[in-house]
Structure 1
Amino acid sequence: MKKKLLIVDDEWNMRNLLKIYLTKDFEITMAVDGEEAVALVKKNSFDLIILDVMMPGKDGWEVCEEVREFKTTPILMLTARNDTKDKVHGLEIGADDYLIKPFEPEELLARVKALLRRSELSNEKSEKEENNSIVYGNGFLQIDQDGHSVLIAGEKLELTPKEYKLLHTIASNPKRVFTREVLLDVLWGYNDSRDTRTVDSHVKNIRIKIKEKGSDYNPFETVWGVGYKFHEPDEWL
């Protein structure tokens, strides 16, 4: 079943162009202004919203803020203004990504797919969550989601924010095999210059830090030709 996208833009040419770029892969609904967009989001369930910033009446900023009051649907903002302040503002009020006009159709499609992958991942629930912690091996591995901390055999593992997020991501979804591209989406978002070897470097660093704690446990099982999946530790007796 195709994912459902809502395109919001007051310019017919841009709406039609976006529809041409995306209609092959997605089910498209279009709104001509902010008021219509909010009304559609309230009545329907969309997988992603592509939202123009500069619109008469209720602009993209207002729409984004209003939608965030009742929906967590990923939002990709579109604007002709290449202003860092605008981008920061959009991210602060709840936008998930930001694309500058004009753009190539390949970049638009890549960003849309990356946001959808991240959204699917965040919606998956771990069967090992206990009191907002993820626990494996009878307490051998403990990930405190509130404190963003990790214990290995009772000792705190000093991880960088990216390392923590990487370990937390795979431990939260133990049955899933992650490609390096998906892990890049989770950790860094879409970036033209990103390198999948960065994921391998972070995996290596985590393995080394665990070994320095005196444990041979390796939480990352390599799936050759694909990426990584979680390796659950044996019970800690």
Structure 2
Amino acid sequence: MEHTDNILVVDDDHGIRTGVVDYLRKNGLRATGAGDGREMMAALEASSFDLVVLDIMMPGDDGLVLCRNLRSGKHRALPVLLLTARDDETDRIIGLEMGADDYVVKPFSPRELLARIKAVIRRTRMLPPNLRITETSDIISFGQWRLDTTARHLLDDEGTVVSLSGAEFRLLRVLLDHPQRVLSRDQLLNLTQGRDAELFDRSIDLMISRLRQRLRDDAKEPAYIKTVRSEGYVFSMPVTLHGNVP
């Protein structure tokens, strides 16, 4: 049986929530609505979803808090598309730094939202099945380093903390999820930058350079991230997972 994508729409505005759910269903998707974080988590426990549409401006835990919670739990690999009522660059940047895959500014056309949903899901599935994330872990160790995926920082063998930006964390996490696999620049861009990837076609090289600096990795003879000429990059160090989230 052909898979039909299942979308969870989280918005405290009943009219917007039901309108989006109805539109998605009319356009061939499955969709479920949730009015707050509690309903969102109940829905995630009850069913399997392909993407969460998450409103930022909600009472109680807002969309940014909920996005952060998703990224630190067992649903961390689930794509998230944020809705924001303000054309506020700060909200967008914070959302992307917290791990959101894309955003749409209210008021939006349902057609644009549908296109964004499909684009995010397509990017998520762009890797072959054997390269997709299948495990989650609290701590990932490699070489002299440990990555704390909850605190989102690095620890060296002496326990020194090295902070990572959101973009650096996402890039490192993608590389660690697929060790000894060559990933093209397009794959890395789409997995780490989402909608703006096409605007920064060479930015992945800058991100790799910054990440090598964090890892104290010699760019001329790297031990961790190696360049594969005309193909992309490969994380060459063995990776060990610890403390899987139940």
* Deviation per residue, 1:124-182 (Å, 9 max, x gap): 469xx9x74213xxxxxx3332462679xxxxxx9985667645642442143323233
CA–CA distance in 2 between the matches of 1:124 and 1:32? Answer: 27
1:210 aligns with 2:218: yes
TM-score calculated relative to the size of structure 1: 0.57
Q: Which amino acid aligns with 2:52?
A: I
Aligned to 1:46: 49
Partner amino acid, structure 2, of 1:148: L
CA distance in 1, matches of 2:41, 2:56: 14
Aligned counterparts, 1:177-216, within 5 A: 177-191=182-196, 194-203=199-208, 206=212, 210-211=218-219, 215=221
SS at match of 1:191: helix
Question: Does 2:22 match 1:16?
Answer: yes
State how many pairs are aligned: 210
Deviations 1:191-236 (A, max 9, x none): 2653232223444674996156xx4757324274x53333459xxx
Alpha-carbon RMSD = 5.1
Distance 2:101 2:42 in 1: 21
Q: Which position in structure 2 is the counterpart of 1:61?
A: 62
- 1:106-131 per-position Cα deviation (integer Å, ceiling 9, x unaligned): 3343244446779x8665469xx9x7
Correspondence 1:55-134 to 2 at 5 A: 61=62, 65=66, 68=69, 72=75, 73-84=78-89, 87=92, 97-101=102-106, 102=108, 104=112, 105-114=114-123, 123-124=134-135, 132-134=140-142
State the distance in 2 between where 1:160 and 1:54 align.
Answer: 27
For CA contacts below 8 A with separation 6 or more, give which structure has more relative contact order. 2
Structure 1: any 5+ residue segments left out of the alignment? 136-141, 152-157
TM-score when normalising by structure 2: 0.55
Q: Letter of the aligned partner of 1:179 in structure 2?
A: S
1:31 pairs with 33, 38, 43, which one? Answer: 33
Q: Flag structure 2 segments of 5+ consecutive residues without an equivalent.
A: 239-246
Aligned AA for 1:7? Answer: V
> Aligned equivalents of 1:41 and 1:164: distance in 2?
25
